[in-house]
Amino acid sequence: MNIGFMRNFKNPTTMAKITAMFCQSRGIDLIYLRPRDVNTTNNTVKGKMFVNNTWQAVNKELPIIIDVSAYCFNKKNQEIMEYLRNNTILTFDKKNGVNKERLQRELKKDEHFAHLVIPTREVESFSDIEDFLQQYASIVMKPIGGQRGNGIYILRKEGDTYILGYQKQEKKLSKATLIDHYENHMQNKRYILQKYITSKTMESYPFDCRIHVQKNRKGKWQVARNFIRIGIGQKVISNVNQGGGISDPEPFLKANFGEKWEDIHKRINQLAITLPYKLEEIKKTPIMSIGFDVGIDQEGDLYLFEANGAPTTSPLLAESAMLRTDYYLYLLENETDKDLVNAFMGSTKMNLEKQNKNLMRELEKVKQEKAQYEKRYTAIENSRAWRATAPIRKVGSFLRNTMRSG
């Protein structure tokens, strides 16, 4: 059974390699491919399969399931992705996407998640920024469709001077200069404004908690890993891609929140097993993995910064690959042609049973050979010649040991 692993990169990623190895242990062949590798005329794909520890070029029928990245959904690939929607099972679909603004708006309606909502407003003109700054001492300006922390600014006002922070830098600007910045970098993009949540370490570095969840063998959400991202030397966000670091939650929370750490830790874990289902309810189209970025203020209150449908996997390669493989099996058993899957599972079982029988035969053969050698050795050991040559063997052993030690 073939499963597709679709990304935009020319060469297979480390995640693709590890996932391919997990798949092989389950009797599944993983095909690495890009959108351009799909032939919509004859329902085939060209890609690469991991065979004997190397990637080999292959041509195969369209895989029944494709693990697809959100980044594959762009204008250039629009026709291909629509074809795939109709002809295969995708682990993610960008249709009915939930951007930052919509997510905050939907969560605000739900009493179970309203406490996570950060005061938010969409930017329509520069006056919106001024009005928002009058309500909150510091604000965050972020692009609605942004990824990897790009284009995010923090802004505060001191007298008539505006302090604009971006990545590791802060600049003092006049109102006229800030207007220029808005017109040159923000006006033609969709931006939202949010109250700035002071989520900082004791050393004043920004941080957040990344909650990474994925679907498992039962089709349920499961935590792959929770970890703290620390923006070492940064002014705005805790983005590892821009030079930050990571930590496990427990030691970090103990060091920064004292007696509150355990309660915060429990609430993070609770959020991890409830919030994914809420996002899935809002989105209503396939999604296999989510990265939630959660801020923690000085009081220990949690705030949701954003949700990412294509979270980085570099801090959890093995965990993510294992859960992916489990979810492929779930999809095969529950979302595909039952007869086809039963045939596949039966074939896989027969192959494994055949391999086991071969191994048992080899083991029995080794046991028999071992018994024969032991029988011969016993016969030799009891012979007169063996007893007669005992002194010579002892001298030989002594000489060998003497030569080794010398």
State the DSSP string of 185-211: HTTTS-EEEEEPP--B-TT--BEEEEE
CA distance 120 to 143: 12
What is the three-class DSSP state of 370?
helix
By percentage, how much of the chain surpasses pLDDT 70? 79
Give me the pLDDT at residue 55, please. Answer: 98
- Of 85-99, 161-175, 241-255, 366-380, which gets the smallest average pLDDT? 366-380
Q: Is domain 119-196 classified as CATH 3.30.230? A: no
Averaged pLDDT for residues 81-106: 93
Q: What Cα–Cα distance (Å) separates residue 65 from each residue in 41, 68, 289, 338?
A: 18, 9, 16, 14
pLDDT tens digit string along 39-63?
A: 999 999 999 999 999 999 999 999 9
Sheet holding 153-158, edge to edge: 120-122, 191-195, 138-143, 153-158, 161-166, 169-173
The predicted pLDDT at position 356 comes to 53
Q: Which residues pair with 59 in a beta bridge?
A: 46
Q: Tell me which range, 24-38, 298-312, 338-352, is most confidently predicted by mean pLDDT.
A: 24-38
Query: Please, which pLDDT band fits residue 231 given cuts at 50, 70 and 90?
Result: confident
pLDDT score of 392 more than 50: no
Instruction: Please return the burial class of 346, using the count of CB atoms within 10 Å of its CB with bins 0-12, 13-18 and 19+.
Output: exposed
Residue 23 confidence (pLDDT) above 50:
yes
So what's the pLDDT on residue 379? Answer: 54
Output the pLDDT for position 131: 96
> Is domain 199-336 annotated with CATH 3.30.470.20?
yes
Question: Cα separation of 236 and 305, whole Å?
Answer: 13
- Residue intervals of the chain classified under CATH 3.30.1490 are 119-196
Candidate ranges 17-31, 189-203, 242-256, 388-402; pick with highest mean pLDDT: 17-31
What is this structure's pTM? Answer: 0.76
Chain segment 112-165, per-residue pLDDT in tens: 999 999 998 999 999 999 999 999 999 999 998 766 668 899 999 999 999 999
Strands 289-296 and 207-215: antiparallel
Residues of the chain with CATH 3.40.50.20: 2-95
What average pLDDT does range 264-277 have in this prediction? 98
Q: pLDDT, tens digit, for every residue of 99-124?
A: 888 898 999 999 999 999 999 899 99
pLDDT at 395: 42
Class of the 2-95 domain? alpha beta
Checking if the pLDDT of 366 tops 60, the result is: no
- Residue 80 CA to its chain's centroid (Å): 25
Start-end ranges of CATH 3.30.470.20 in the chain?
199-336
Q: pLDDT band for position 233 (50/70/90)? A: low
Distance CA 245, CA 230 (A): 5
Beta strands, E only, 267-396: 289-296, 302-308
